[in-house]
Amino acid sequence: MTPCPQFPDDFRATLVNLFLWRRDVRRFKPTPLPEGALERLLGLASIAPSVGLSQPWRFVVVESRERREAVKACFERCNAEALTSFRGERAALYARLKLAGLNEAPCQFAVFADHATEQGHGLGRLTMPATIEYSAVMAVHTLWLAARAEGIGMGWVSILDPTEMATILDTPPQWTLIGYFCVGYPSQEHSVPELEREGWEVRRPPTIMVR
């Protein structure tokens, strides 16, 4: 048996600070990441917990200008459609929000959940097959924290059409889109998330979410 390491108070305080400073970044510097940084972060994401040790996450790194432009066009269409669902001041605020960093982010990739994976032998999925998607989200969160610890920002672009994205990225039909992500060094740093600063929403205390 390998004993679990002891995590001192200062480490735990730093970890809480990391949680607080995890941000959905929309504004990036054009500075490229160091050589091998993205591969290292994807490797850390792959130690995330997964149902039945299935590791169903699949990463598609998007480097070509053609694919990036197609993703951007998909976002712009979906974003324009989403705007029509709001009225009045809320619509004006939505139009003002920057909801993607597709123009500036030096690294971009999509995350999919592979429902056809044989790894894990189906353990834990019979009654809750959505645990495949939940596992992929755990990988995303692990990557997000690992990136933030290195001063690297990450933004989740969810205003996309999954069917169109599967076509753009030429993925197997058994893969479900989890999200598209922009990664790079933030051009701005704020202690308060952008949606709170802009008045879109406020963070609720945990007490109202527990019953």
Q: pLDDT digits over 19-36, tens only?
A: 999 999 999 999 999 999
Question: Domain of 69?
Answer: 23-209
pLDDT band at 204 (very low <50, low <70, confident <90, very high): very high
**Is pLDDT at 211 greater than 90 in this prediction?**
no
Residue 9 domain-assigned (yes or no): no
Residue 7 domain-assigned (yes or no): no
User: If DSSP states are collapsed to H, E and C, what string results for the chain?
Assistant: CCCCCCCCHHHHHHHHHHHHHCCECCCECCCCCCCCHHHHHHHHHCCCCCHHHCCCEEEEECCCHHHHHHHHHHHHHHHHHHHCCCCHHHHHHHHHCCCCCCCCCCEEEEEEEECCCCCCCCCCCCCCCCHHHHHHHHHHHHHHHHHHHCCCEEEEECCCCHHHHHHHHCCCCCEEEEEEEEEECECCCCCCCHHHHCCCCCCCCHHHHCC
Q: Is 36 left (phi over 0), alpha (psi -120 to 50) or beta?
A: left
Residue 11 domain-assigned (yes or no): no
Residue 5 domain-assigned (yes or no): no
**Is pLDDT at 191 greater than 90 in this prediction?**
no
CATH code for the domain in which residue 141 is found: 3.40.109.10
pLDDT of residue 125: 94
Tokens of 192: 């308060």
Q: What is the domain count for the chain?
A: 1
Single-letter code of the amino acid located at 186 = P
Nearest to 78 by CA among 56, 59, 100: 100
Burial of 78 (0-12, 13-18, 19+ CB in 10 A): middle
- Does the pTM surpass 0.85? The reply is yes
Residue 40 domain-assigned (yes or no): yes
Residue 134 domain-assigned (yes or no): yes
Q: pLDDT digits over 91-103, tens only?
A: 999 999 999 999 9
